[in-house]
Amino acid sequence: MRMKNALTVPVQPEVGYLKRMLKRYGWLDYPRWKLKASAYILYENVADKVAYMKFFEEFQMPDTFYSWFLVTELHVWMLMVRIMAEGEEGRFVRNNIVEAMWEDVITRVKKLEPGSSSAHKTQSIELLHQFQAALVGYDEGLLSDDKVLAGAVWRTLLQQDCSDLENVERLVHYIRKQVKLLDEMVRDEILLSPSIMWIELPQKFGSLHSDKNTL
Closest C-alpha to 204, from 177, 168, 150: 168
Q: What is the DSSP letter of 82?
A: H
Mean pLDDT of the chain: 85
Q: Is the pLDDT of residue 211 over 70?
A: no
The residue with greater pLDDT, 26 or 82, is 82
Is residue 4 scored above 70 in pLDDT? Answer: no
pLDDT score of 155: 95
Residue 148 buriedness (CB in 10 A; 0-12 / 13-18 / 19+):
middle
For 45-91, the pLDDT digits (tens) are 999 999 999 999 999 999 999 999 999 999 999 999 999 999 999 99
Q: What is the pLDDT at residue 212?
A: 37
CB 46 within 8 A of CB 76: yes
CB 82 within 8 A of CB 185: yes
| Residues ≥6 apart with Cβ < 8 Å to 43 | 76, 79, 97, 100, 101, 104
The span from the CA of 152 to the CA of 140, in Å, is 8
Q: Is there a contact between 87 and 62 (Cβ–Cβ < 8 Å)? A: no
Selected residue with higher pLDDT from 120 and 24: 120
Question: What is the model's pLDDT at position 24?
Answer: 52
Distance from C-alpha of 127 to C-alpha of 32, rounded to nearest angstrom:
28
Out of 28-32, 109-113, 188-192, give the one with best mean pLDDT: 188-192
Average pLDDT, integer, range 122-131: 89
Query: Per-residue pLDDT tens for 175-207?
Result: 999 999 999 999 999 998 889 999 999 988 665
Q: Please measure the distance between the N-terminal and C-terminal CA atoms of the chain and give it in whole angstroms.
A: 93
Q: State the average pLDDT over residues 125-150.
A: 95
Comparing C-alpha atoms, which of 107, 148, 106, 168 is closest to residue 131? 106
Indicate whether this model's pTM tops 0.75.
yes
